[in-house]
Chain A
Amino acid sequence: MSLEQSYIDLYAANRAKLLAGAPDSLNQYRDAAMEAFSTQGFPAKKVEDYRYIDVRAAFDGKQNYSMLLKATPLTAIKGNPISVNNTELLNRYYNKVADNHDPITALNTALTQECLCIYLTKNQQLEKPIELNDIFAAGVDQMEHKRILIILEEGASAVLLLHYMTRDKYHYLATQVIEVFVGDNATLQLYELEETHTSCTRFNNVYFHMGRYATVKHNNISLFNGTTRNTIKAYLKGEFGEVTLNGCVMADKNQTVDNNTLIRHEVPNCTSHELYKYVVDEQSVGAFAGKVYVAEGAQKSVSKEVNQNICASDEARMYTQPMLEIYADDVKCSHGSTVGKLDEMALFYLRQRGIPLAEARMLLMQAFVGQVIDEIPITSLCDRLHIMIEQRLKGELDQCVGCARCNK
């Protein structure tokens, strides 16, 4: 039996339960999504968008994991922008920007049980950032298919932090699809912070739909993980939109982080920025593919894409693929990518001052990725992340539980 067939069977076996536990607004897309998945199958490495990660290996053997979760109880608080399975919102926005031509998104649409909704009304300004802690703590090996809908109506503004964590040693496989609608003149800062463990596999697809004068700052920080694939797609649909896709990765052991981004300038006068920095150490693998697409007629588009990487060991591997695809003639677009080692001269300078080699290496790595953190305008978050990165490098964040390599 093929790997795909085992997931098709999984859906067939659980279909009745899934339908019973979720509203029609979710259920109506399931069969078609499963059909889309079975037509495509898991992407092989020869598929351009998935050439740096072995998707089949990530999904193989996980079919028997516990899947159905208990519904999240959420009490409605006045003014709280968060709800679950909000039918009105789902009818208007669910599955509208997510693309089921991506087999992971299709699988998620077919198998998800509920959708977390974050909704800001017209001109609503969130005074304080919202932090959502997503904790893997099932007590058994588990598969999860998570769905989030974020909607900012015209003129609204919000700061959201999604913090992915693990609390036990079990294996986790998660798909997640986040659909984000940022209305005209609305501003969203979305931070995603992963701090899981080496037995955790995550596929996270994020779609931004942006209106006129909409601003999005996305920051995607992989502090500790197992195998992670983030697919980030930003669609600039209204003029004068501005999107920033930043991210940093610290990987070692046998960790894999693959970030695949797309920024589509579909109308004139939009701006995009991208800064991704990786430090890959030991036997880890990092991949970055960033495409900026400027549609025909999208004049005065401005785009700057930078990807810088350090391979801190001889065995670590880094793949980088910056791409520009431009169909307009009055644009300013640049991209650049570097892969290097730690600066030997700087290392020696630090050691001459008495700083031991390991600590000198750490200082340089911290400084390297710190540039991404420094771009975060919220001082308290910026400080907290600097401290977390320092702890990460010192090994104080090590979540080696379940790591075959460390538990030998």
Chain B
Amino acid sequence: MLRIKNLHARVEGKEILKGINLTIRDGEIHALMGTNGAGKSTLSNVIVGHPKYEVTDGSITFNGQDLLSMTPEERSHAGIFLSFQSPVEIAGVSMTNFMRAAVNARREALKQEPLKSTEFLKLMRDTQKLVDIDKKLVSRSVNEGFSGGEKKRNEIFQMAMLQPTFCILDETDSGLDVDALRVVADGFNKLRTPQTSALVITHYQRLLDYIRPDFVHVLLDGKIVKTAGPELAKEIEDNGFDWIKE
């Protein structure tokens, strides 16, 4: 599904990624751990095409397509979804208008007819029940005045509306209490199909208790320095990163 080769990237002139190699196949969950500033969020931003990040070397292919030549919206249409670490508040844009624009843009890209108003509203209602998000949140402006937990839950709601095949969860657990974490993780698990794959970025073991990874990678100073099974997350939780550095 996703193949990253020798990826170098910089932001504001500073080199952050220094040769990433990573392959994620259909249905696999990969966890990415690492110290602050190691490049975890840079990697996710590069995958979704944030204009601030500049790729200086290497390649990313997604289902055989050259991802780096695609616009952010084209990557979204191809099935890539980023659950943002800090979802943006957009005053004055209602969740309904936002989601209608997003769903129909994707349908247009896939050469499908736009949803009729009634069909769309039904999809909103059904999805809202599926991920158990408060109806009131869905009727407000995008993330405006939402609590941290509500924002993360709203990310999962959007994921459910757009049904991506590859999800990046960028520190989805940060700022969440245990109950909220479980709700968000359950939401993700409910949406998963056997083909859905994911890159889960986290500092902690506990999210991985709910979303079981097939592989755990450790990113230090712009490179993946260690890859192992789920037991690696437990080791890091107990011993930190220093033993890997040495």
Q: Which 8 A-B pairs have the closest CB atoms?
A: A367-B92, A354-B76, A353-B102, A351-B72, A349-B88, A367-B93, A354-B106, A354-B105
**A352 touching B92 in the complex, CB below 8 Å, given contacts A357-B71, A363-B97, A363-B98:** no
Within 8 Å of chain A (Cβ to Cβ): is B123?
Answer: no
Q: Which residue of the partner chain, among B73, B93, B162, contacts A363 with CB atoms under 8 Å?
A: B93
Asked whether, in the complex, the Cβ of A367 is within 8 Å of the Cβ of B90, the reply is: yes
* Stretch in A99-107, A151-159, A256-264, A340-348 with 4+ CB within 8 Å of B: A340-348
Asked whether, in the complex, the Cβ of B88 is within 8 Å of the Cβ of A345, the reply is: yes
**A364 touching B93 in the complex, CB below 8 Å, given contacts A348-B50, A359-B101:** yes
Instruction: Give the complex CA separation of A224 and B19 in angstroms.
Output: 52
> Interface size class for chain B?
20 to 34
The interface residues of chain B lying within 8 Å CB-to-CB of A370 are 92
CB of B191 to closest CB in A, whole Å: 15
Within 8 Å of chain A (Cβ to Cβ): is B128?
Answer: no
Task: Tell me the nearest residue of chain A to B168, going by C-beta.
Answer: A352
**A357 touching B73 in the complex, CB below 8 Å, given contacts A349-B87, A349-B88:** yes
Q: By the criterion of a CB under 8 Å from any partner CB, how many residues of chain A are at the interface?
A: 21
Within 8 Å of chain A (Cβ to Cβ): is B84?
Answer: yes
The interface residues of chain B lying within 8 Å CB-to-CB of A343 are 88, 90
Please, what's the 1-or-0 string for B130-146, where 1 marks a CB less than 8 Å from any CB in chain A? 00000000000110000
Instruction: Give the complex CA separation of A351 and B162 in angstroms.
Output: 13
CB of B150 to closest CB in A, whole Å: 16
**A351 touching B76 in the complex, CB below 8 Å, given contacts A359-B105, A364-B93, A367-B93:** yes
Instruction: Give the complex CA separation of A345 and B86 in angstroms.
Output: 10
The interface residues of chain A lying within 8 Å CB-to-CB of B106 are 354
Q: Which residue of the partner chain, among A352, A359, A371, contacts B48 with CB atoms under 8 Å?
A: A352
Within 8 Å of chain A (Cβ to Cβ): is B91?
Answer: yes
The interface residues of chain B lying within 8 Å CB-to-CB of A353 are 76, 98, 102, 158, 162
Within 8 Å of chain A (Cβ to Cβ): is B16?
Answer: no
**A355 touching B88 in the complex, CB below 8 Å, given contacts A348-B50, A363-B93, A363-B98:** no
Within 8 Å of chain A (Cβ to Cβ): is B216?
Answer: no
Instruction: Give the complex CA separation of A348 and B105 in angstroms.
Output: 15
The interface residues of chain B lying within 8 Å CB-to-CB of A346 are 88, 90
Asked whether, in the complex, the Cβ of A354 is within 8 Å of the Cβ of B92, the reply is: no
Within 8 Å of chain B (Cβ to Cβ): is A93?
Answer: no
Task: Tell me the nearest residue of chain A to B72, going by C-beta.
Answer: A351
B residues lining the A interface (CB < 8 Å): 48, 50-51, 71-73, 75-77, 81-82, 84, 87-88, 90-93, 97-98, 101-102, 105-106, 109, 141-142, 158, 162
**A367 touching B91 in the complex, CB below 8 Å, given contacts A353-B162, A355-B101, A355-B105:** yes
Instruction: Give the complex CA separation of A74 and B81 in angstroms.
Output: 62
The interface residues of chain B lying within 8 Å CB-to-CB of A350 are 90, 98, 101-102
Instruction: Give the complex CA separation of A220 and B62 in angstroms.
Output: 50
Task: Tell me the nearest residue of chain B to A345, going by C-beta.
Answer: B88
Sample of 4 more A-B contacts, CB < 8 Å, known A351-B73, A363-B101, A368-B92: A349-B84, A353-B158, A354-B162, A363-B93
User: A-B pairs with CB below 8 Å: how many?
Assistant: 71
Instruction: Give the complex CA separation of A349 and B98 in angstroms.
Output: 11
The interface residues of chain B lying within 8 Å CB-to-CB of A21 are none
The interface residues of chain B lying within 8 Å CB-to-CB of A359 are 101, 105
Instruction: Give the complex CA separation of A355 and B75 in angstroms.
Output: 11
Within 8 Å of chain B (Cβ to Cβ): is A129?
Answer: no
The interface residues of chain A lying within 8 Å CB-to-CB of B82 are 352
Asked whether, in the complex, the Cβ of A354 is within 8 Å of the Cβ of B88, the reply is: no
Within 8 Å of chain B (Cβ to Cβ): is A125?
Answer: no
The interface residues of chain A lying within 8 Å CB-to-CB of B91 are 367, 371
Task: Tell me the nearest residue of chain A to B82, going by C-beta.
Answer: A352
Within 8 Å of chain B (Cβ to Cβ): is A366?
Answer: yes
Instruction: Give the complex CA separation of A367 and B94 in angstroms.
Output: 9
Asked whether, in the complex, the Cβ of A354 is within 8 Å of the Cβ of B102, the reply is: yes
Asked whether, in the complex, the Cβ of B92 is within 8 Å of the Cβ of A371, the reply is: yes
Asked whether, in the complex, the Cβ of B93 is within 8 Å of the Cβ of A354, the reply is: no
Within 8 Å of chain B (Cβ to Cβ): is A336?
Answer: no
A–B complex contacts, Cβ < 8 Å, 17 sampled: A348-B51, A349-B87, A350-B101, A352-B81, A354-B77, A354-B105, A354-B162, A355-B98, A356-B71, A356-B73, A356-B105, A357-B71, A363-B97, A363-B98, A363-B101, A367-B91, A367-B92
The interface residues of chain A lying within 8 Å CB-to-CB of B88 are 343, 345-346, 349
Asked whether, in the complex, the Cβ of A366 is within 8 Å of the Cβ of B92, the reply is: yes
Instruction: Give the complex CA separation of A371 and B77 in angstroms.
Output: 31
Asked whether, in the complex, the Cβ of B102 is within 8 Å of the Cβ of A355, the reply is: yes
Task: Tell me the nearest residue of chain B to A362, going by C-beta.
Answer: B101
Instruction: Give the complex CA separation of A343 and B141 in angstroms.
Output: 15
CB of B72 to closest CB in A, whole Å: 4
Instruction: Give the complex CA separation of A353 and B106 in angstroms.
Output: 9
Instruction: Give the complex CA separation of A348 and B51 in angstroms.
Output: 8
The interface residues of chain B lying within 8 Å CB-to-CB of A352 are 48, 72-73, 75-76, 81-82, 84
Instruction: Give the complex CA separation of A368 and B101 in angstroms.
Output: 17
The interface residues of chain A lying within 8 Å CB-to-CB of B142 are 349
Asked whether, in the complex, the Cβ of B109 is within 8 Å of the Cβ of A354, the reply is: yes
Instruction: Give the complex CA separation of A283 and B81 in angstroms.
Output: 36
The interface residues of chain B lying within 8 Å CB-to-CB of A355 are 73, 98, 101-102, 105
Task: Tell me the nearest residue of chain A to B161, going by C-beta.
Answer: A353
CB of A246 to closest CB in B, whole Å: 15
Instruction: Give the complex CA separation of A352 and B142 in angstroms.
Output: 14
CB of B236 to closest CB in A, whole Å: 29
Instruction: Give the complex CA separation of A350 and B102 in angstroms.
Output: 8
Instruction: Give the complex CA separation of A359 and B93 in angstroms.
Output: 12
CB of A218 to closest CB in B, whole Å: 22
Instruction: Give the complex CA separation of A348 and B82 in angstroms.
Output: 11
The interface residues of chain B lying within 8 Å CB-to-CB of A357 are 71, 73
Instruction: Give the complex CA separation of A356 and B158 in angstroms.
Output: 17
Instruction: Give the complex CA separation of A351 and B109 in angstroms.
Output: 13
The interface residues of chain B lying within 8 Å CB-to-CB of A367 are 90-93, 141
The interface residues of chain B lying within 8 Å CB-to-CB of A356 are 71, 73, 105
